[in-house]
Chains A and B, each alone.
Chain A
């Protein structure tokens, strides 16, 4: 088991290095940061000076080594545009993103599972068909469009919910939360729906398919023969077995929810890491881009690692393969 975890951890380090290399090579195509740092009428000599002080004129291998050594120590430097340490900026923005991602995932799980069960059990009902159609929309409409439609309906036409921002936040140590204020909760609703809609429809479809599958298996038939109540069969036996793959998928999807919060955060001006990243790309703020990509890939590989480990604990069949090196 330990050997397995070590192997996986090593692989994760490999992934992080690959992400580092790829992101470094991409920065070279993002444009010239100096133009974003100074005004358009800045004299050429001053531009040259800035280029030099930023180390942009050094040979590529030198730049890469510097970037790599700093990144390995999680030293991200100072943002070009805000002139503040990137780690402080990320720390300030992280609670917003994590709160949004968690709410979106919870929302997606609760509604996705409920809707999935319903549409599996009452396959032919009208509502199940409506849910199927809605899930198709959720899976095919781009996030930003859903966000803008929601804003238009609930903020502009009805005026019920705020169209942007996070509302009032409460400070708990370095963490800020919007969950404790009314305006914070109201501000959370639309971004969570926008971000979670895709996951929700995914989980709904997954639950539905799995449930239909499970309901056809022998042990359900035997349970029926034993005269158990439908309720006990559906929720005691069928649902439990349905949820194993659902939990795996939801866990893995949490990483991508954080990563894809970029779009939702931009549409709702949600002050999270994703918004910070988008602004950094527009302004060629390399320190922020580098740090964000590394943090997100770290979150990704960590979640993957946890899911892998959990898997072996939950499913005894996997342990055999784990203990035998592939």
Chain B
């Protein structure tokens, strides 16, 4: 019987082998961003993560609709609220042939939290990874955490033996004095292996013949080239030299669509673009109002909100490719988001509110804006400047490259702004991250709450609800708590959410692939015709 099975398997693999090369394809892919380091713990940024996702895998995975599905762990359960048990998949091998076991998970849990890792928050610092047997790992927590594994699809599991043999036990820090083996080589369990990697020039992936999943793709090779110039990227797609590129600049979408060999795949992205206002300082840094801060008055914030004609921004600046938002989180990530509506655009009402607040003639305020970070970011800001001028507010816009912008407005720059535009995707794909990181009070220096709350919006009731959200395990109750928090901030006009920008991928007509809303270009779902 075993002999017969072996024979059958052999025949099957010969057939598979004979069939595969006939249809296996090379996919040429270009992105504005680059794959900077192959070490999966070096840079927590979506383009890089997506690239690593072709090679590495996490205990969990996210499906085409972003729902959490089993990855390297077949299943998991929480026998008690502070203990998560993961049952690992058997028979999985790393690309160098090493077997995948619980030791690798425990090792990765340590490595991801080590100094120099940019993914330290993936696993809570007080969580303990305990090996039960070769294929079972427990994570013991100090407090219940319903979203423990929400980001584990991008906490990629590394091979302990491989890291130890190659002196790559520690993650590659930014201030490295010598290059790390792991930043130039990769050894995952995933769909593709890395054949060659020349940073900033070209990376070649090959299909992993021993992948434990049944491939949905028909690729034998991926050639990735970073092309930063928009015009060149579009030209390369139109001339058929590449099969796939991201992003398509908004103004080129019509041209690509009209071409005979490519189309543009568009869809909503998870990132929310919003405006924030300095509500902390007693006097604004950039304003002609001295001795007081107009943004401390909720009526002024409401006036700003109502003065912005989001539909006009959508139609003119975004050319229809945006989803106006009433919330600081994308509707895909929060079930009850359809219960929120934006206050109507109302310039007259806004003017009245300003007058009530004591600024009948408006005032002057400086605005900070990046000009190379989000889709048409500087143009959005210019539109906002024009709209606020209608209610008498003179905005002095300072749009600059992201390297300078972030250095100025972030905590490291002492929140040096009065009025700003920012975009945010919660890394956990969960509301708590937004409530805590962007909207929480930042008055306690010992806590990291509100570190990215650049305007310092603060409401203690709001924070209390946020804390409850973290502890609540029942999903329905949790959603109600999140809703309650968002209602508080909406009433305060703490922030002005604008929209979710759209994804725009340029795709050859020969290629079919899945566009996931987190903008990860994952090629294990891609097929290419001959």
A269-B238 Cα distance, complex, nearest whole Å = 16
| CA distance in complex: A175, B120 (Å) | 40
A213 at the interface (CB under 8 A from B): no
- Contact mask for chain B residues 487-526; partner A; CB cutoff 8 A; 1 contact, 0 none: 0000000000000000000000000000000000000000
The residue that A83 contacts in the complex, of B183, B200, B241, with Cβ under 8 A, is: B183
Q: Report yes or no: A35 in contact with B437, Cβ–Cβ below 8 A.
A: no
Q: Write out, one digit per residue, whether chain B residues 200-218 have a CB within 8 A of any chain A CB (1) or not (0).
A: 1110000000000000000
**Cα-based distance from A139 to B238 in the complex (angstroms):** 29
Kindly state the separation between the CA atoms of A162 and B184 in the bound complex, as whole angstroms.
28
Q: A31-B401, A32-B406, A78-B177 are in contact. Are A268 and B43 (CB under 8 A)?
A: no
- Count how many chain A residues have C-beta atoms less than 8 Å from C-beta atoms of the other chain: 58
User: Smallest CB–CB gap between A93 and chain B, Å?
Assistant: 8
Which B429-478 residues have C-beta < 8 A from chain A?
433, 437, 448, 451-452
Instruction: Select one of B30, B115, B177, B402 contacting A35, CB under 8 A.
Output: B402
Interface residue A43 (Cβ < 8 Å from any Cβ of B): yes
Shortest C-beta distance, A306 to chain B (Å), equals: 31
Q: Which A139-187 residues sit within 8 Å CB-CB of chain B?
A: 148, 151-152, 155-156, 159, 162-165
The reply to whether the CB of A89 lies closer than 8 angstroms to some CB of chain B is yes
Contact A156 B238, CB 8 Å, known A50-B175, A83-B174, A83-B176: yes
Instruction: Please tell me if B36 contacts chain A, counting CB pairs below 8 Å.
Output: yes
Q: How far is the CB of A107 from chain B (nearest CB, A)?
A: 21
Report yes or no: A164 in contact with B121, Cβ–Cβ below 8 A: no
As a 0/1 sequence over residues 21 to 54 of chain A, the CB contacts with chain B under 8 angstroms (1 = contact) are 0000000001111111111111111111111011
Q: In the complex the two chains form, is A159's CB within 8 Å of B240's CB?
A: yes
Stretch from B100-108, B348-356, B409-417 at the A interface: B409-417
Contact B200 A279 (CB under 8 A): yes
Chain B residue at minimal CB-CB distance from A166:
B201
B226 neighbours in A (Cβ, 8 Å): 269
Tell which of B200, B410, B424 touches A82, judged by Cβ atoms closer than 8 Å. B200
Complex contact B36–A54 (CB within 8 A): no
Bound-complex Cα distance A80 to B228 (A): 18
Given known pairs A43-B451, A163-B239, A269-B225, the reply for A35 and B232 (CB within 8 Å) is: no
Q: Are B115 and A49 in contact (CB under 8 A)?
A: yes
Asked if A269 and B227 sit within 8 Å, CB to CB, the answer is yes
Is the beta-carbon distance between A45 and B448 smaller than 8 angstroms?
Answer: yes
Q: Provide the residues of chain B in CB contact with A271, threshold 8 Å.
A: 198, 200-202
Decide yes or no whether B272 CB sits under 8 A from chain A. no
Q: Which residues of A contact B200 (CB under 8 A)?
A: 82, 89, 271, 275-276, 279
Does B232 contact A268, Cβ atoms closer than 8 Å? yes
A165 CA to B404 CA in the complex, in Å?
30
**B97 within 8 Å of A (CB atoms):** no
B325 near A: Cβ within 8 Å? no
Q: Say whether A83 contacts B427, CB under 8 Å.
A: no
**B236 on the A face (CB < 8 A):** yes
How distant is the Cα of A163 from the Cα of B233 in the complex, in angstroms? 9
Complex CA gap A82/B226 in Å reads 13
A residues near B (Cβ < 8 Å) are 30-51, 53-55, 77-78, 80-85, 88-89, 92, 148, 151-152, 155-156, 159, 162-165, 266-269, 271, 275-276, 278-279, 282-284
User: Can you list 26 pairs linking A and B with CB atoms under 8 Å apart?
Assistant: A31-B407, A32-B407, A32-B412, A34-B412, A39-B118, A40-B406, A50-B174, A53-B173, A80-B174, A81-B37, A82-B36, A83-B37, A83-B42, A85-B178, A85-B179, A89-B199, A148-B232, A162-B241, A163-B235, A164-B30, A164-B241, A271-B201, A276-B200, A282-B228, A282-B403, A284-B403
Known: A35-B412, A41-B427, A84-B199. 14 other contacts (CB 8 A): A30-B404, A41-B121, A41-B433, A43-B121, A47-B411, A83-B176, A84-B184, A88-B179, A89-B199, A155-B235, A155-B236, A164-B241, A268-B232, A276-B200
The 6 closest A-B pairs by CB, nearest first: A31-B403, A32-B407, A39-B44, A53-B175, A271-B201, A35-B406
